[in-house]
Amino acid sequence: MVLDQPKYEDNLYMYLYFVIFIIFGSFFTLNLFIGVIIDNFNQQKKKFGGQDIFMTEEQKKYYNAMKKLGSKKPQKPIPRPANKFQGMVFDFVTKQAFDISIMILICLNMVTMMVETDDQSEDMENILYWINLVFIVLFTGECVLKLISLRHYYFTIGWNIFDFVVVILSIVGKNNKFL
């Protein structure tokens, strides 16, 4: 009868029991079930050589080709200038040897920056100052050559913008030493 029913909120720990029961009873069991399915799928995939078992060989080739193409953004080639001088400079700055030589200069510049110490002599400070000045002149020359040859296309390449900002800041930094 009515008197035999449980009292309302007689045991507040039952809230905690039901929350734990729902978490472990349903979510944990569901995750365990899905984990077993994924593990079996991975075992079947390994059995077939790590390839997708649902694709034919042609589909796999097409998928891999599209994956390679999708990761690369198409770039429009920068047109060679019609001016003879600009064209010669363009040919010079677009060669791989030019890029490699600039990379070597960057590495040498890093080495000279690593040589600096707090307690260095005044002679060493002057030597490093002039070496850094030579590097600034070389990097400014690279920037000017690229600006001449690439024209407004110079600013369409992210690394060129970065180089331009670094060169400008280097020049400003060297000029501030005289002030």
Q: How far apart are CA 95 and CA 115, in angstroms?
A: 31
pLDDT tens digits for range 42-93: 887 777 666 666 777 888 888 888 887 776 666 678 899 999 999 999 999 9
pLDDT tens digits for range 117-170: 889 999 999 999 999 999 999 999 999 999 999 999 999 998 999 999 999 999
Indicate if the alpha-carbon torsion angle 15, 16, 20, 23 is positive or negative: positive
Amino acid 56: pLDDT: 79
Give all domains of the chain, ordered by start, each with its CATH number: 2-70 (no CATH), 84-178 (1.20.120.350)
Q: Dihedrals φ, ψ of 118, to 5°?
A: -75, -40
Amino acid 73: pLDDT: 66
pLDDT tens digits for range 23-45: 778 888 888 889 999 888 888 77
pTM above 0.85, yes or no: no
DSSP at 172: H
